[in-house]
A and B are shown apart, each in its own frame.
Chain A
Amino acid sequence: MNLDELVRNKRIIVCCGAGGVGKTTTSAALALSAAKAGRRALVLTIDPARRLAQALGIPPTGKEPVRIDPSLLANASIDVPEGGELHAWMLDPQVVLESVVDRFAPSKEDAAKIRSTRLYQALMNVITGLQEYTAAEALYNFNESGTYDLIILDTPPSRNALDFLDAPRRLARFLDERTLSIFAPDPEKRAGAMIRAASKVVNTAISKTFGESFAEELQNFLGAFGKLFQKMRIHASGVRKLLRSDQAAFIVIASPDEAALTEAKYFKGRIKDLGLVSEGFILNRSYASDQATESPQDITASGDLADALAKLTPFAKLEEQRIVSDRALFADLEKEGMQDGGRGATALPLLDEVVEDLPALDILSGHILR
């Protein structure tokens, strides 16, 4: 898989993978690479690495994306050509939801009414359920705005990420009129005995399980959300179309361990199930491309260093074994990544330092751009 080509040409890159594989840093490195290639790149991250945010000089929960100060890039000796820009946003689901309500509510009064319901306020707190909706929503809006040449989405870890891939579809289903009409106030107004009957069952179920007051509140809430839902539905299918187009690329990131690899292959399957194409795998933090030239016993030394080098021998053996096994893993991923219209895999090295500043990101970027 040629990452250089992807960061130069795609409009959207979605990075998925299990937690702890380095999705956030890889996403940031991809965005930096695009900026270095002269594009306006935005990295949208949901699972922020705070120190990385600090290094980039962006607030952890801003209202909107922030452009990384060009002088920060210059200070880190990162050469960004004319037109190249790096933007980042730690996506805050609450901020996105509020802007959705503001934009789509028929009037200011309606927006206020929606916001004042207990249900809405609870919704704001259920971040686990919100991330997926908001990620899809934010992606669509930024793409529409035309402000960026490339948007890189760093998905939430593991299972949530799958929800993200499914979010547009789930949202569309949720917003399906037939579903909604059952909960909408005055179902009697609607034609059809089936709907009336279904509505009755659902209402009984809901009021019995949640209590009368909740059932009423839910109906008020959905009533107030009504028009808003209709407009959001357009977006849900818009997001699906966008993610299916050849402007978008899905990359699955794995690290060289059993669990992460199992997850990676699972992701690839899920992407396929959703009717999308996964571009390929990134084997992150691996020794696959290592070329060590020296062994500890090659070095002549005395004193503490001699003792240390002697004790380093098992470490060297371990590393040697890792190089062999990582290469085998990579070959396997490359093969798997070629299937179903994909383009194989790319290995990114384990850096000497923890990647949490611009110079380290730039080193990674050096492995992305050719």
Chain B
Amino acid sequence: MSADEALWAKELVLVTGKGGVGKTTVAAALARSAHTAGKRVLIAEVTSDTSTKSQLLGLFGHPDVKGEDPVEFEKRLYGVRITPSAGHRLFLTAALKVGMVVNAAMRSAALNRFLMAAPAFPEIGTLYHLVTLLRSKRFDHIILDLPATGHALGLASLPKTVLSVVPSGLIGQAIQEGLDAMTDDARGCAVLVTLPEGMPVTESLELARGLEKLDIRVRAMILNAMPDNPFTDGERDALRDHLKGREASLLLGAREFRRLERALGAQAQFEAEVPATAAKVTIPKSDKTAHGDVMREVATFLDEVKIQGATP
């Protein structure tokens, strides 16, 4: 038997995609939607710098969240910034057990430099912080806004690599737990966000294949900010003919029309190539400009999106 489920209906939801595609908006909207449905929700972002304002948590009115413990925004709704240094502190605390020694160790400039500068150690800290939050079982859903990286798989590919070097011990165990949560279809999933443009769609399809290779289930692919198409096919043909050979910037509206044409092309590719295992969701372009308004609109839209749950 299978039942319809909300998009966010997993314990750990990794929201990912290239920069500038509206990933943060979608992550916030998913959290908002889950919260509206009565769930205990943690909205989290990965960062190494908490001295600046968080765009994601700013959408909930708390751009300055710091520290390893989630902050309660509203009843059942929490936010946190997942950072390497919080993770380092947490694992040192777990390893050394004595608070005084941990503080001494964290004060050691040498250790800090090492943990922040040695390749992979910041990421290990990040993962450890995440696993600590998963272990706490305080939340029905953790919605994680993954950072945009050049290497699309970024953090998602890290657990396997780390485990090859650190198979045991406190860290190894924690990383294994994180990996289990990410790769267990019943607990974790990824939601990929992309824009209706050629390159972004192609790249997100590649990212989806990469995630599947890591055994991370891509639950849904979201085509974000799809513009409305008021034209019939005949009208589009006529307009295209009219514009042929002219510089579009001379006719007001022509460039927006060309943008729409590209979006329709990208949407066709999206519809044709998204793997059958992932739900396809197209979010219409909002005419709001303020980030918070757009997020609320997307959340309302996502409230209605149901996808078929796994058949047990």
What is A's interface to B at a CB cutoff of 8 Å? Answer: 18-21, 46-47, 49-51, 118-119, 121-123, 125-131, 133, 156-160, 162-163, 170-171, 173-174, 176, 178-179, 182-183, 198, 201-202, 204-205, 208-211, 213-214, 217, 255, 258-260, 262, 266, 287, 290-296, 299, 301, 303-305, 307-309, 311-320, 349-350, 352, 354, 356
Contact = CB atoms under 8 A, between A and B. Distances in A.
A317 B239 CA distance: 17
B164 A21 contact: no
Contacts of A156: 149-150
B12 to A, nearest CB: 19
Nearest to A123: B119
Interface string B177-198: 0000000000000000001011
Interface of B: 18-21, 24, 47-49, 52, 55, 91-92, 94-96, 101, 104-105, 108, 110-111, 113-114, 116-120, 122-123, 147-151, 154-155, 157-158, 161-162, 164-172, 195, 197-200, 202, 230-232, 234-239, 241-242, 247-258, 260, 262, 289, 291
Q: Is the interface of B mostly helix, strand, loop or mixed?
A: helix
B19 to A, nearest CB: 2
A352 B258 CA distance: 7
A200 B199 CA distance: 52
B119 A209 contact: no
A122 B200 CA distance: 29
A292 B19 contact: no
A70 B92 CA distance: 57
A266 B116 CA distance: 21
B150 to A, nearest CB: 4
Contacts of B122: 129
Contacts of B105: 201-202, 205
Given A159-B147, A352-B247, A202 B108 contact: yes
Contacts of A315: 253-254, 256-257, 260
A305 B252 contact: no
A294 B55 CA distance: 39
B253 A296 contact: yes
Contact of A210 (B117, B166, B255): B166
Contacts of A296: 251-253
A176 B95 contact: no
Nearest to B152: A47
B113 A174 contact: yes
Given A303-B238, A312-B253, 4 more contacts: A209-B171, A259-B291, A314-B230, A354-B197
A51 B206 CA distance: 14
A47 B169 CA distance: 35
A205 B158 contact: no
A356 B123 contact: no
Contacts of A305: 235, 238-239, 241-242
A174 B111 CA distance: 10
A315 B217 CA distance: 39
